[in-house]
Structure 1
């Protein structure tokens, strides 16, 4: 698993979360990473280890102020170079050539607001890796301005089980009969959503919105205003290996990262991101607040349902003696994920 995560571009955060003098501590595979943007706004990713005596520089999460080592108070600038060293006369080599003591840096780039890190020194550029998803993330980022809702939850299942569950709707009638089947706003006139496999690693689907929902938003437009990218469907994008981005009509985006924490445990980091509305009235803002609040409650209920069934799948996987059987059409995105996973396995000796 660490080899796979080392060679892939892994989603780690959002540029809008790193505005000002802010840095984050995160984990990618088996590496602890320090993430921040430099003065030009470019995201930078460093090993979260002090160049002095190797203390961890920051704990997981978001921190304000310069990066300061908790052990001896070495301070680093936004490019990872020591900026301030107490009793500097004792470290003439650091004072003379501070760049030589820059934090170890990893490849880091962004598609719109979405920041990715690649642990391997060699590999494709982010644009090459993302393929058609690069343009999607850039377009989705237009007007994106705030985190409306956020949570982290553990799921008692291997990360691949959790991803597979997100890639098929076959389970929806059984698992989500009281959520998706009742209020999801999807059209029921077509038998299935449309699947897209434009890239060897990634996939996405589009499911036409219910005409009543489209009409509802058109009626509200004079009050709620317009948002940057409006479309009349639900879309679900999987960006290999462990990122999903979903949206209904583009008025917000739901971003989930699936972090393996053990063989049978996955931590899901979920964010709902809002976009800017133009021409909205005070009444319209209140309407959208209500819509978003309903959406947050809906998301958490669906997540609980998915977490429960994934734990049951993991319990069964422990005792399975035969290969799983995938349905034609309805589970094609799971099949696509399996192929991408196999193709991404590192060649022995090249991790």
Structure 2
């Protein structure tokens, strides 16, 4: 089948601007994990559809606001994450849990009425949670997060609830359009050449795809069963886990979140963040599932965790190289692109993408 996204849509600035206003502003955007907001005043900042957003635990409730002070327009929370009051670093304006200024230095010099203060409320955005994942939407519409995730909601909820120890956070700048990176993760056709010494050895295979709403899932058997050979000893501490699968599972939360697991023991969540039409930030989080501490072997666990980190980083470094080559090539291509049965998830992603961005400008 022919690809639906044209080559110029991977490098055209006007397409990137359309995506910010017509795609990312309309959908639920992943911004962090529940664990990021355990303490009052814990915060994470994000850029959602070109808008600076702060998500913060305010008096025990997670709220999301535009991260711009209503006094003189400074960014309020200036680091990626942390713990501090919702207070502007420029003149010290502090905001309450509703986003209304309540602590203003030299307040009598302003002569504000209560109504005027409420008009200076920070713009607030919707927050919803699935399992341990926190999502924000900057434009109101009737589609709840549960509707957006569709039939995959229970699966995502169960997977993310079983994220245990976070063993690695890997950030890579990739000189490629975000869609090229997403599409690369949605097919295994490239695995034999690009990942011959890494992912290929897992032996994930088959065309067992499930499609629902904007999202898709790949369920794949692997070469070695969980409790065969050397793996039996490595995986022994994880036998009482709640989430168990036979092989490898990979799903996309449209348009740019990828969640995968092997056996339900190791998990990866990858967030592909557009920086510009030709640059993306790839953020990868690697977890191991919650385990039985009665069967603890620190040496084996450390070896297992180190091998997971090395495996994931190597795979993503391999993907970075080829995605950057694709980015170079699309700028000169006269072809629409062709998709095989093994690339059906790419075609489905493109079909859903075109519902938001129907025209090439």
TM over 0.5: yes
Q: Does 1:298 align with 2:297?
A: no
Deviation, 1:39, is: 3.2
Distance 1:277 1:91 in 2: 57
Question: For 1:249-260, what aligned pairs fall within 5 Å after superposition?
Answer: 249-260=263-274
SS in 2 for 1:309: helix
CA RMSD of aligned residues (A): 2.2
Question: For 1:135-284, what aligned pairs fall within 5 Å after superposition?
Answer: 135-182=154-201, 184=202, 186=203, 192-197=206-211, 199-216=212-229, 218-219=232-233, 223-224=237-238, 226-283=240-297
Distance 1:139 1:28 in 2: 26
TM value normalised by structure 2:
0.87
Deviation, 1:65, is: 1.5
Deviation, 1:209, is: 3.2
SS in 1 for 2:59: coil
Q: Does 1:311 align with 2:337?
A: no
Instruction: Report if the CA contact (8 A) 2:31-2:44 is conserved.
Output: no
Q: Deviations over 1:87-128 (max 9, x none)?
A: 122244266775443210112211111111112122411111
Distance 1:113 1:346 in 2: 33
Classify 1:97/1:339 alpha carbon distance in 2 versus 1 (closer, same or farther; 3 Å): same
Distance 1:82 1:268 in 2: 35
Q: Deviations over 1:162-209 (max 9, x none)?
A: 111000000000101111123x2x36xxx6141111x13100111123
Question: 1:124 maps to what in 2?
Answer: 143
Question: 1:23 maps to what in 2?
Answer: 43
2:345 pairs with one of 330, 333, 345: 333
Instruction: Report if the CA contact (8 A) 1:94-1:100 is conserved.
Output: no
Which stretches in structure 1 are left out of the alignment for 5+ residues? none
Deviation, 1:319, is: 0.3
SS in 2 for 1:280: helix
Deviation, 1:10, is: 1.2
Question: 1:62 maps to what in 2?
Answer: 81
Distance 2:210 2:133 in 1: 21
Distance 1:220 1:264 in 2: 41
Question: 1:84 maps to what in 2?
Answer: 103
Question: 1:102 maps to what in 2?
Answer: 121
SS in 2 for 1:4: helix
Distance 1:220 1:192 in 2: 26
Classify 1:307/1:112 alpha carbon distance in 2 versus 1 (closer, same or farther; 3 Å): same
Q: What is the total number of aligned residue pairs between the two structures?
A: 339
Deviation, 1:83, is: 3.4
Distance 1:92 1:146 in 2: 51
Deviation, 1:253, is: 1.7
Q: Deviations over 1:118-162 (max 9, x none)?
A: 121224111111102221221113243442210211111111111
Deviation, 1:221, is: 5.8
Q: Deviations over 1:293-347 (max 9, x none)?
A: 11111111111100000011111100000110111x2000000001010112379
State which drifts further: 115-124 or 171-180: 115-124
Question: 2:9 maps to what in 1?
Answer: none
1:71 pairs with one of 81, 90, 96: 90
State which drifts further: 82-91 or 66-75: 82-91
Instruction: Report if the CA contact (8 A) 2:238-2:289 is conserved.
Output: no
Q: Deviations over 1:40-79 (max 9, x none)?
A: 44x3211011121211112240021212201101122343
Distance 1:263 1:202 in 2: 23
SS in 2 for 1:7: coil
Instruction: Report if the CA contact (8 A) 2:44-2:54 is conserved.
Output: yes
Instruction: Report if the CA contact (8 A) 2:56-2:64 is conserved.
Output: yes
